[in-house]
Structure 1
């Protein structure tokens, strides 16, 4: 933990005054506001440029506080909270009266989690309430995994930045709908499907299109300024060289199996063989290639198992169709 106690107390005061605090979690840095202050929550949407119907996640200090924020807690929800909290798991449950509709995008459900990062937990303890905290970046762009990422992207729009070092997990939390009889994964993330099913002793549903709106469902999301193109692992080198010969400044995510292979490109990032290391570095790699002035990023998807599912999800959305008027590239 790098933030001092006085820094954490200052951040808690900022939250009480209706301000915005960037805080580290084990997944990514969040842009936090008092979850019970509709005006403060509204500032999050304004700063991020986030549509007001996109719900936020409420971060709380412990699993024991869950009943204070939701209307009903199923046995499945309690089991998952006890097993995975604090940690990168978000549970979707019926909204309790403490949560304003501004924080849920107008829905009668609320997404809740207990972060594991010691700075985030210290802030929640000092503040004494819930904190809504989506990723601390402009809507649709690459999530931040260091305090410097936040400062570079949001600058003075954030009232206080807590520095907790680099995020350990590197991709957002897994979101699980536990409002009904059959729990379902709405967004893959830092807790894998295999881990969830082992804890529950039964399969989880993975709906093609969720009826519940949750963060990270936009077709274009987690996207750098450079355009991202996905190809098969064995085609990465040839596709990169073809684009480079066309006059583009090409960045390459070189698969671990091709480590050390010469590539004709503007910049190359070697993808770690470990899925955990790949996830931890993913957003930093995208930002690095942006900083090196790449026009195009050529990448391939990992095996979709374990954390590879979350990595593939993020890369797929980074390569998604961008809305009209998007000026990142």
Structure 2
């Protein structure tokens, strides 16, 4: 139990293994009385008091509130200190719940059906046309809303118990590393929220992948890399595939990756695009090996490393996980940043990884966390 200011924060235990879902996804059985009690307490706080609570997902811990209640959504922004122009992701527990919040005449495209069948429940967020049910605060005034169905049993059971979608960014102060354990949330938001559901460490460790498939040509755009890799998505759309039998190409070559687009960062349609994110309280420096002549036509200038004599320097390297297992590195990234931040270090050096599979999402997060990038010569 964490206390700060006028509010006491309860950390309520939930056993994910005690929760099972039936085939239609929306109904569940909870065999643990204590887990059920925790979930009921959280749902009552969400619905009766319109207060945000923290809960585990397979990506990171989320700070959830009723997505269809404007007062509840505004409390998310106040609790996190989140800029109002940074949109939120809406979390649903079933396809029927998704349908309830979409425009009545909207037809889900075949590309989305393919993605949903492959990756829902899971760490994939899709952009849909927003409806009159969605408060403008959720979408930051945009005409689209980001939606996903989490696979974590505690998250899905909580949403199903509320019988309403939850808007939920990461459960941390805005700009800080995302929490992957309940204790991370308690250290950061203890005293600002009343309930944290502890369902164990997050399995993925990075936020969801965000995909926009609303363009008239049917092409997919990856707005934010995350728990579902670009390679995983590309496998679903082999070259020459067509969307719903039309002449609209839905092949891998048509996929665009827009998360570094300056214009989109100026008016983000999904979280994680505009502001500096994931940064601990101490400076972070990204270390990138100097490319060989065959790697690049231009050679960047070489930066010297900071002197260790005047600072306590911490290094976040591939000890987090093997180079061949980037999903392990992803799982441990935020925990590593938060642990080193809490260790009293004056500076954190982060080793770069290859930008493929989960490495693309890892480097996306590290670049937003780092205040600068330094090139190093590994041969010297």
Q: Normalised by the size of structure 1, how large is the TM-score?
A: 0.88
Counterpart selection for 2:67 from 4, 22, 35: 35
Counterpart selection for 1:9 from 40, 46, 53: 40
Q: CA deviation at 1:223?
A: 0.5
In structure 1, what is the equivalent of residue 110 of structure 2?
75
Decide which structure has greater helix share.
1
Aligned counterparts, 1:140-219, within 5 A: 140-180=175-215, 181-201=218-238, 202-203=251-252, 204-207=255-258, 208-209=260-261, 210=264, 212-219=268-275
2: CA distance between counterparts of 1:319 and 1:138?
17
Counterpart selection for 1:248 from 311, 334, 338: 311
Moved more, 1-10 or 290-299: 1-10
In structure 2, what is the equivalent of residue 222 of structure 1?
278
Moved more, 76-85 or 50-59: 76-85
1:155-197 CA-to-partner distances (Å, cap 9, x unmatched) read: 1211211111000000000000121121100000000000011
What secondary structure, in the 3-state scheme, does the structure 2 residue paired with 1:162 have?
A: strand
Counterpart selection for 1:24 from 38, 56, 72: 56
1:60-102 CA-to-partner distances (Å, cap 9, x unmatched) read: 0023432222223222122211210000000011002221111
1: CA distance between counterparts of 2:269 and 2:90?
15
| 8 Å contact kept, 1:219–1:320 | no
Counterpart selection for 2:331 from 257, 272, 280: 280
Q: CA deviation at 1:16?
A: 0.5
2: CA distance between counterparts of 1:243 and 1:59?
46
What secondary structure, in the 3-state scheme, does the structure 1 residue paired with 2:77 have?
A: helix
Counterpart selection for 1:307 from 343, 346, 358: 358
1: CA distance between counterparts of 2:338 and 2:347?
12
1: CA distance between counterparts of 2:157 and 2:97?
15
In structure 2, what is the equivalent of residue 319 of structure 1?
370
**Mind listing any 5+ residue stretches in structure 2 that lack a counterpart?**
1-13, 16-33, 239-250, 292-302, 373-380
Q: CA deviation at 1:200?
A: 2.6
What secondary structure, in the 3-state scheme, does the structure 1 residue paired with 2:336 have?
A: helix
Q: Normalised by the size of structure 2, how large is the TM-score?
A: 0.76
In structure 2, what is the equivalent of residue 267 of structure 1?
none
Q: Decide whether aligned partners of structure 1 residues 95 and 320 sit closer, same or farther in structure 2, where only a CA change above 3 A counts.
A: farther
Q: CA deviation at 1:219?
A: 4.4
Moved more, 217-226 or 108-117: 217-226
1:302-328 CA-to-partner distances (Å, cap 9, x unmatched) read: 10000000000010100147xxxxxxx
1: CA distance between counterparts of 2:275 and 2:159?
32
1:60 corresponds to 2:92: yes
Task: Indicate the RMSD between aligned Cα atoms, in angstroms.
Answer: 1.8
Q: CA deviation at 1:138?
A: 0.6
Q: CA deviation at 1:141?
A: 0.5
Q: CA deviation at 1:277?
A: 1.1
Q: Decide whether aligned partners of structure 1 residues 315 and 25 sit closer, same or farther in structure 2, where only a CA change above 3 A counts.
A: same
1:225-261 CA-to-partner distances (Å, cap 9, x unmatched) read: 11111122589xx966x4213x011011233xxxxxx
| 8 Å contact kept, 1:70–1:110 | no
Matched positions, count: 303
Structure 1 moving runs of 4+ over 6 Å: none
2: CA distance between counterparts of 1:42 and 1:151?
21
1:293 corresponds to 2:344: yes
